[in-house]
Structure 1
Amino acid sequence: MSSTKATLQLSENIDDNGDITAKGADRLVETVAEFASIARTSGCGELMAFATSAVRDAGNSDDVLDRVRGEAGISLDVLSGEDEARLTFLAVRRWYGWSAGRILNLDIGGGSLELSFGGDEDPDVAYSLQMGAGRLTRDWFREDPPGKRRISALRDWLDAELVEPTKHLRHAGEPDLCVGTSKTFRTLARLTGAAPSSAGMRVERTLTASGLRQLIAFISRMTTADRAELEGVSADRSRQLVAGALVAEASMRALGVETLRICPWALREGLILRKLDTDMGGELVVTAG
């Protein structure tokens, strides 16, 4: 088995009209073509290519998908937000098993926030909200570092937007396990003291609400370049880190969560698991979010 990743940051490559920029579209086409080539040379028998929030919500989504199909020779299937939440929940369930009981899962992507809850492999409640770290960075933070008033305004907006979905999630029942998935949560956990990735996937990692609040007070005063110097923060993620942390903080506060377990599996693994449930053939998964 091999793994190859590329960071596109499409959610930050959206213009004022809500369209993916030419630069973003070029990068997407190039990356999909590159990964398709890797699949062919690796002897991959089946290619699964999916797009998520940034492509799904873009005003020129159809045009961009046509470009990918025509220039890279690959048809991207666009996942709905609810599908993202449900597939990620499946991955979390399979990682922790049935003994975990009822699971509440939070996942922060570049374009959207997914929230899901349930006691089975398919969640009872699933939401996808336009609260991704890249999207909010683009829409809210023009200064580097962001100003205190802007941070306060974003906190208030997040709290208001989360009222209805989190009310439904809380009414669905009390979770036995609260989980965070995605690179954003892994990075936040690392910055608050969790073990590094080199320690392995099976090391238990957690993120606490108190640790997160302290971290936000620290990183919100730093520039993007300074945040990129922090251990565990990649240069291509440092710009989104403050917005991602604020989304995590607001979600945990709205749901009354004090501690999250960090799951190493997320959407990609959910896609693979769902495919394996119906077809045991090998495949390469490409996601463009």
Structure 2
Amino acid sequence: MRLGVLDVGSNTVHLLVVDAHRGGHPMPMSSTKSVLRLSENMDDKGRITRDGSDLLTSTVDEFASIATTSGCGELMAFATSAVRDAENSDEVLARVRDKTGVELEVLSGEDEARLTFLAVRRWYGWSAGRILNLDIGGGSLELTIGGDEDPEVAHSLQLGAGRLTRDWLQGDPPGKRRVSVLRDWLDAELVEPAKELKAAGKPDLAVGTSKTFRSLARLTGAAPSGAGIRVKRTLTSSGLRQLIAFISRMTSADRAELEGVSADRSQQLVAGALIAEASMRALSIDTIDICPWALREGLILRKLDTEMGGDLVVSTT
């Protein structure tokens, strides 16, 4: 069966089309992205602006048409942090549904964390043992640990790269003092979540998912995307510290010239690197493996597990 997965994130809307069957490896057929920066289209009351709502509606409509012409038997459409946190979330969702016919499911932060963990577990298999996963999005940071397919501990924290860039690092380049203060603040914010994750047991494998982790790994020497998704890629805490010292002195335009950094994410790169560094420090991790599968693949796998054509069971807000 051909499935379409429409992911409305804080930075981008992403349509992934895959051929999938239960017990099989989801095979990607096409991938389409559009940079919306929904998290930046918010007014001072935390509401998505009319312009932001218009842009989201037109993009969802366009991508739903692409899914149809691509032969998708079903479109799984969901939204994460930006829509989840918006004060007018229900109003925006209703407008998208009325104008496009697409019902966007809003994933809770915990669902987002658990589905991403499922994808990571399936990618590495049971031989990986206990897995600790870190996922940095535009609006939130997800931290999970467990020995099974469902994590024992799952946290979703409002520590996304886009959010912290807007709140802390508005200078271009960001000031040295702001970087230092943000480092200290992140350390404080992660004390309690890290304590709970550590209490669950020592991981056999630490993993990073998301575009942010892939970019950071590439900038510290990991293989480029052209080498294929099965090439082992890692990120070390020492390499990350050196990278932060380098990129925090650059403008976003200069960072966009670096290999593996897209122009739409260059502004958030420093915040993303600081979040990764603080998370690894709090969890006493020196090295993480980069997993190519994340939330979208987790949704597909859960769909297949609940049988083709069945309902996707997640809690919504």
- Tell me the TM-score normalized by structure 1: 0.95
C-alpha separation in 2, matches of 1:15 and 1:157: 25
Superposition deviation, residue 18 in structure 1? 1.5
- Report the secondary structure of 2:235's partner residue: strand
% of aligned pairs identical? 81
Q: How does 1:19-168 map to 2 (within 5 A)?
A: 19-168=47-196
Deviations along 1:233-278, one digit per CA (max 9) or x if unpaired, are 0000101100100100000000000000000000000000000111
- Report the secondary structure of 2:115's partner residue: helix
Higher relative contact order (CA 8 A, sep 6+): 1
Amino acid at match of 2:183: R
Superposition deviation, residue 281 in structure 1? 5.3
Superposition deviation, residue 16 in structure 1? 2.4
Q: Is the Cα–Cα contact under 8 Å of residues 9 and 110 in structure 1 kept in the other structure?
A: no
- Please point out which of 257, 260, 269 is paired with 2:285: 257
1:233 aligns with 2:261: yes
Match of 1:286 in 2: none
Superposition deviation, residue 73 in structure 1? 1.8
- Report the secondary structure of 2:190's partner residue: helix
Superposition deviation, residue 14 in structure 1? 2.5
Superposition deviation, residue 87 in structure 1? 0.2
Which one has the bigger strand percentage?
2
C-alpha separation in 2, matches of 1:26 and 1:199: 38
1:184 aligns with 2:223: no
Match of 1:287 in 2: none
- Report the secondary structure of 2:30's partner residue: coil
Aligned residue pairs, count:
283
C-alpha separation in 1, matches of 2:91 and 2:102: 14
Which consecutive residues of structure 2, in runs of 5 or more, have no partner in the other structure? 1-28, 311-317
- Tell me the TM-score normalized by structure 2: 0.87
Which one has the bigger helix percentage?
1
Superposition deviation, residue 31 in structure 1? 1.4
Superposition deviation, residue 142 in structure 1? 1.8
Aligned CA RMSD, in angstroms, stands at: 1.4
Deviations along 1:63-99, one digit per CA (max 9) or x if unpaired, are 1112211222211000000000000000000000000
